[in-house]
Amino acid sequence: MKQIKYLLLFLLIISFQSFAQKNNYVILISFDGFRWDYANRGITPNIEKMRDEGVSASSFQPCFPSKTFPNHQSIITGMYIDHHGIIANDFVDPFTGEHYRLSDKKVTSQSKWYRGEPFWETAKRNGIKTASFYWPGSNLDLEYRRPDYVKKYNQNFPYYARVDTVIKWLGLPYSKRPHFITLYYSLTDTYGHRYGPDSKEENFAIAHVDSVLGYLFSKIYETGMQDSVNIILVSDHGMTNISPDRTINIEKILTGTKYFLQESGPFVLISPLSGEKEKIYNRLKENENHYKVYTKENIPAYYHYSENPFIPEIIVIAEKGWSLGTSKQIENFKLHPDKGNHGYDNHLLDMHGIFFAWGHSFKKGYRTGTILNIDVYPLLCKLFGIIPNSKIDGKLERIQYILK
């Protein structure tokens, strides 16, 4: 009798998984640098549609550092940054001297840098076809580690045409049709850096990406698939105002010491040369003003930024709106000043992004508090009825309440 019960339960689970996969489509969209409060400016009617008809979070918390590539990996793998391995936009492998930099497409496509399992890899293993019209880390050199359909990044590719491609994918014969699709747009990040988060130019960028979202909605309704499609809209981080008058010269503070420095602006990573660690840390601690300095051992646990071997021995985090760097970096910053930046403490509200979810699987008109970006991966697994990778940091219990 017990065996029959277990068999029936097994068949029920298999049946549920099959139903969840066959009758479900999820489009995950990222608006890079779209701060948590941009949707409250009265210029985003299509995001407001998602808020009214679906789920909205008060904010979407990134991981530290609140940078683009690291947090897109956290969203898609459900892992903290020190676990998936993309510890910054630019960093060095201290064991080989190899340099990971987001501007180098050949390097960013090398699978060896990525320790996490992105959702499309999990989905493919479960027989679900996937596609990506851009997502950092989607174009890896190993076939099984990338989506079935991938577009190589080209920031100049027209925004509306990206939607048209997604709709074409959804119109493919069933056996070839992707059920999970990512979309990525960088405009709000670009304009936020260049003009600042409170500028009229940033408002233009906000309104423009919102209009693209509206175009996607209209196309989905044209296909008649609105009852099968779920849309999740997120951003990787927020943005805050900066000024060339608020800079801290790390090179001057550390005059006479020997070290290797990575990154600049909101945080810097310092690798002291042999025997210099205590001297460098003490010098930075004595001059601690508008920044905080930590060793890898004493950085607060809430940053989740200490367990990766690529993270250097000393981490310096600037106060919001201040910028760290060498003499050359600061000179360049003053000659070509940005007005906005991100990468600061991920608990600062200015660093938070957005989370909206719309579709047949989500509650209607449901508003909630802050959602962690590492919890999106287990949510995706739940939507498709598949088992998550066992190494994730995300937790379904923190997010599943938004589902019907």
| Residues with catalytic roles | 68
Instruction: Compute the distance between CA of residue 123 and CA of residue 340 in angstroms, rounded to an integer.
Output: 37
Block residue for tokens 């200490």 = 306
| Helix, coil or strand: residue 15 | helix
Hey, is 54 helix, strand or coil? coil
What is the C-alpha to C-alpha distance for residues 280 and 284, in angstroms, rounded to an integer?
6
- How far is the C-alpha of 360 from the C-alpha of 204, rounded, in Å? 31
C-alpha 237 chain-centroid distance: 7
Q: Are 362 and 230 in contact (CB under 8 A)?
A: yes
Residue 157 CB contacts under 8 Å (≥ 6 apart), including other chains: 151
296 Cβ neighbours under 8 A, 6+ residues apart = 306, 311, 312, 313, 314, 315
The CA distance from 364 to 384, in Å, is 20
* 29/299 Cα distance (integer angstroms): 32
Q: Which residues of 187-201 are buried (b: 16+ CB within 10 A; e: fewer)?
A: bbbbbbbebbbebee
The alpha carbons of the chain give a radius of gyration, in whole angstroms, of 22
Q: Distance between CA atoms of 249 and 13, rounded to whole angstroms? A: 59
Q: Is 65 helix (H, G, I), strand (E, B) or coil?
A: coil
Closest CA to 298 of 322, 281, 283, 273: 281
Q: Does residue 312 sit in helix, strand or coil?
A: coil
Phi/psi at 309 (5° precision): -65, -20
Tell the residue number behind the tokens 């760097």, with chain if given.
Answer: 325
Beta strands in 97-228, from DSSP E residues, in sequence order: 99-101, 130-133, 149-150, 180-185
In one-letter notation, the amino acid at residue 92 is V
